[in-house]
Amino acid sequence: NAGVMQNPRHLVRRRGQEARLRCSPMKGHSHVYWYRQLPEEGLKFMVYLQKENIIDESGMPKERFSAEFPKEGPSILRIQQVVRGDSAAYFCASSPHRDSTENTIYFGEGSWLTVV
C-alpha cells in the first residue's frame, strides 16, 4: 500500500514564476491537508481539501496561493509569482476520515521549493 506521494521532491523556480506541487493521498484516503515548513521552523497548516471541495483554507496566504483536489488526479498546490519567502518544504498529508480533532494523518515526503 503506497504512502502519500508527492512530486516533485525538489523544485527550483525564479522569482515571478509559478510552482505546482502535486499530492496523491494514500489509497482509500479522501482527505488531503497541505502544510508549509519554513527553514528552521515547525509545520503550519495551509489548507484542507476533499475531492472537489476546499473545506478549510484558513492557513493559506490570501494572494498567489491556491489549491485544488479534482475528482480525478492528485491534489495540486499552486503558487503564482513566487518570491524568495516562498522557499520552504511543502508537506501533504492524508487521512481516511472526515476531519476531526482526533484523526491520525500520514505525511508525504514533501516538496522542497527553492526560489532564486
Partner 1 sequence: GENVEQHPSTLSVQEGDSAVIKCTYSDSASNYFPWYKQELGKRPQLIIDIRSNVGEKKDQRIAVTLNKTAKHFSLHITETQPEDSAVYFCAIGGGKSTFGDGTTLTVKP
Q: Given the rule CB under 8 A, which residues bind partner 1?
A: 31, 33, 41-45, 48, 56, 91, 95, 99-110, 112
Element spanning 11, H or E:
strand 10-13
State in angstroms the smallest separation of the CB of 105 from partner 1: 6
2, 94 in Cβ contact below 8 A?
no
Q: Which is nearer to partner 1, 39 or 72 (CB)?
A: 39
Length of the chain: 116
Cβ nearer to partner 1, comparing 28 with 72? 28
The distance of closest approach from Cβ of residue 68 to partner 1 in the complex, given in angstroms and rounded to an integer, is 18
Sign of the C-alpha dihedral computed for residues 28, 34, 36 and 41 taken in this order = negative
Question: Any idea what the Cα angle at residue 41 is, between residues 35 and 44, rounded to 5°?
Answer: 25
Q: Rounded distance, CA 52 to CA 36, Å?
A: 22
Nearer to partner 1, 47 or 115 (CB): 47
Nearest approach in angstroms of CB 16 to partner 1 is 27
The distance of closest approach from Cβ of residue 14 to partner 1 in the complex, given in angstroms and rounded to an integer, is 23
